[in-house]
Amino acid sequence: MKYFAWIIIICLPFIASCQDKSKINIKAQYISLFLKDSTGNGYWKDIQKTPAGVFLCQEQDNGNLIIHFNRFDPQSEFINATKNYTDVIPKIPNDICGFRFKGIYYLESQPVDIAYAMYYDTKRPNSLVIVKYAGQTIIGANFHSDKQANPLKEANIRF
């Protein structure tokens, strides 16, 4: 019994390291928006400090995302609807500048044709790309990060 206790004590750190660490838990103070000008050409705005506080995003056990855009607005629950979009997923990029497709989400308070594709990079754990769709048309994108650099703008990524 004494040896069994030692085995558990020795193996405990290894068991803990095998836990799923891919859940999103972001705290970012910088934002860059992808906008379209009057001619329809898209461009990234320069990255800047979030004007009303830190952006927070935390993935729940059920796969939904709790997002707090700023200190003045209540938090929003983005509901994971990836399973409902299996026919659309092959048309959505799986990788954008090293950010991997996490899933498709929606807000209950918005029209049913509005959906959000989320992209996350484990090498940049405090960064998130949010691409907003109306039907199958991209209508905007946000890049949130804890660093004052936008790799999507640097790589000239356009939507």
H helices present in the chain, as ranges: 2-17, 151-154
Distance CA 61, CA 21 (A): 12
Q: What is the mean pLDDT of the chain?
A: 85
Q: Is the pLDDT of residue 65 over 50?
A: yes
* Residues 122, 22 contacting (CB under 8 angstroms): yes
pLDDT value at residue 14: 37
Tens of pLDDT, residues 87-138: 888 888 999 999 999 999 999 999 989 999 999 999 999 999 999 999 888 9
Give me the residue spans of the domains in the chain. Answer: 22-154
pLDDT value at residue 86: 85
Task: Please report which confidence band the pLDDT of residue 6 belongs to, taking 50, 70 and 90 as the band edges.
Answer: very low
Structure tokens of 20?
């799923």
Tens of pLDDT, residues 30-50: 999 999 888 888 999 999 998
